Amino acid sequence: MKKILVTGINGQLGYDVVKRLALKNSKNQVYNVKGVDIADFDLTDKKAVSSFVEAFAPDIIIHCSAYTAVDKAESESDMCFAVNEFGTKYIAESAKKLSASMVYISTDYVYNGLGDAAYEVEAPTIPLGVYGKSKLAGELAAKSLVDKLFVIRTSWVFGINGNNFVKTMLRLASDRDTLGVVSDQIGSPTYTPDLADFIAYIITTDRYGTYHFSNEGFCSWYDFAKEIFNKANIKITLNKILTVDYKTVAPRPLNSRLSKKKCYDIGYKQIPRWQDALCSYLKELKR
C-alpha cells in the first residue's frame, strides 16, 4: 500500500485531495493517506519538516500548503518566500532523500497576464507581484531537487473548505442589492474536487512535468458572479468595474487563461466546464 502525504489539509485543495485519495484509484488501489497542516509542523522550519516527513516516509508527497494572501504578500515578502520557496525546498529535499514523487501546486500568477491567448506550459514565466514570484521560486526549488515531479498550475480556486469568490459573492448578496465586479480579468475557475480528481489520476502515471489545470471555458470575474447569482436564483444588480478603477495592493494578471492541452495529451478524460462545476459546488454548499 502506497503512502501519501498531503500538506495543507485545512485549505480548500488539500481538504479535497485527502477526501478523494481515501477512495480507490483507477487501478483499484487503496492508499495510506496522511493529511497535515501547521499544527503538525512549521513549513518554514527545515528540521521540523525533514523529521516529520522522513518519519512518515511517504511514497508520494502532494504539496498543497502555501502562503496565498496575495495583497498581504507585498508587505510580508519574507514570510511569503519562507513558506512558498523555502518550505517547498524543504519538502523537496525530503522527497529526494526518500526517492518519493512529488506534486507541487502552483498558480496562474507566475505569468504577467498580457495578451488574450491561453498560456501553454512552456510560456515564459514573468510574475508581477511577490506572491507569483514566490510560487515560481517554489517551482524552481522543487525542479532542482526532485526528478519525479509534477507541477500543476491552477487558477481561481473554489472548494467547500475555506473562503473563495463564490462564498464571498453569496455573502455580499445577503445584505446588498448592487455589486461592482471586475470585468476585464479573464481566466478559468477551478473546482477543487475536479483538480483533486486530476491529481489522483496523474500520480498513477510517470508522466512527470508541468501541467495546467482549471475547469474548461473562460470568463471574467463579472461573468462568474453573474452565473453564481443566476444559478443561486438571487436577484441583484451587477455593475462592471475595470481593473484600473479597482485598486489592489498587488497587481492582478488580466489574462489568466490556462491551456489544458497537456492534460488531454496524457489521456486525461474530459475536464468539466466551469458552469457545470459551479452547479456541483452550489449543490455541495446546500448539503
Q: Which three three-digit cell numbers place residue 255?
A: 489574462
Q: Could you read off the pLDDT of 154-188 as tens digits, one per residue?
A: 999 999 999 999 999 999 999 999 999 999 999 99
* Residue of 44, 38, 42, 47 lying closest to 9 (CA atoms): 38
DSSP string, 39-64: TT--TT-HHHHHHHHHHH--SEEEE-
To the question of pTM greater than 0.85 for the whole model, the response is yes
Q: Strand 190-191 relative to strand 149-154: parallel, antiparallel, unpaired?
A: unpaired
Using DSSP bridges, classify how beta strands 237-241 and 60-63 pair: parallel, antiparallel or unpaired. Answer: unpaired
Is 90 exceeded by the pLDDT of residue 26?
no
Extended strands (E) in the chain? 3-7, 32-36, 60-63, 101-107, 149-154, 157-158, 178-182, 186-187, 190-191, 209-212, 219-220, 237-241
Report d(CA 163, CA 176) in Å as an integer. 19
Catalytic residue numbers read 131
Q: 106 pairs with which residues across the strands?
A: 153
Query: What structural domains does the chain harbor?
Result: 3-162+189-215+257-272 (3.40.50.720)
Q: What is the pLDDT of residues 50-83, one digit of tens each?
A: 999 999 999 999 999 999 999 999 999 999 999 9
Query: How far, in whole angstroms, is CA 149 from its chain's centroid?
Result: 16
Confidence of residue 23 (pLDDT cuts 50, 70, 90): confident
